Amino acid sequence: MRARIVAGNWKSNGRQAFVEAYATDLKAALAQKPAGGVTVMVAPPDVYLSALKAALEGAPVELGAQNCSATAEGAYTGEVTAGMLADQGVRYVIIGHSERRSYYGETDEVVRAKLAQAFAAGCVPVLCVGETLEEREAGQAEAVCKRQLSVLEGLVPEGAEVVIAYEPVWAIGTGKTATSEQAQAMHAQLRAALGSLGLPADRIPILYGGSVKADNAASLFAGEDVDGALVGGASLEVESFACIIAALSERT
Ligand code: PEP
């Protein structure tokens, strides 16, 4: 069985008081370990990683980061390396988020370098792929996602874990969600593409991301190739996030 994951991406949100209140509420919501083998991951801004880790102690929650440096340690002012993140207890690192690609000019080459750093540090990368609305309307969605996925070629160390997140750019933070059919269709194509890259496609979780909320999670999770969700806005509200976790736990 593939891992099932609900991952929360806080983006640039949250302060110390929020970290503490959030951890208290999430611990209460997850007093029972989620059923169905669901893994929960939360990725706060880097400066709050250790505070969140401490506040969540004992809770069934993995720590994630939203980004990592494309380089190892050295004279790279302002960069946080994957090794530093691992040292702080981070297990998952989101790489290639569309906001990083569009606002910070991250190319596939940079994404590949970051993936290499994450693997070297022993972190599990969550590689985000997704097409813009323009690309979808031009019939290029599959080609764009496959190109973004192809950075994994020859890069994944034997036995290393990797997670894919299909996040159509037009659905991120817009309230528009892919239909469950659109999500399942793309996930199946991505799984086939992972196989073509020589990767163990059946074992690689593919998450859906893009305006996942409490009220649409169950229908998105109906797709057999949809292994969970990468959640932005709704992950900031513990009640909504917990409903999304429950929706995945309850999937048969
Ligand atoms: C995201 O940030 O990865 C995301 C999917 O955001 P949202 O859920 O807010 O659309």
Helices (H) and strands (E) in the chain, counts: 10, 8
pLDDT of residue 92: 98
Q: Would you say the CB of residue 244 lies under 6 angstroms from ligand 1?
A: no
Cα 13 to averaged position of ligand 1 atoms, centre (Å): 13
Which residues, including other chains, have CB under 8 Å from residue 1's CB and lie 6 or more apart? 37
The whole-number pLDDT of residue 252 equals: 75
Residues in the chain where the model's pLDDT stays below 70: none
| pTM score of the predicted model | 0.97
8 ligand 1 Cβ < 6 A: no
In this structure, the number of other CB atoms found within 10 A of the CB of residue 58 comes to 6
pLDDT value of position 166? 98
Half-sphere exposure of 106 (CA within 13 A, CB side): 25
Cα of 101 from ligand 1 centre, angstroms: 14
The DSSP code for 33 is P
> Residue 39's pLDDT is what?
98
Q: Which domains does the chain have, with CATH numbers?
A: 4-249 (3.20.20.70)
Q: Give the C-alpha separation, 206 to 49, whole Å.
A: 25
Q: Which pLDDT score is estimated for 147?
A: 98
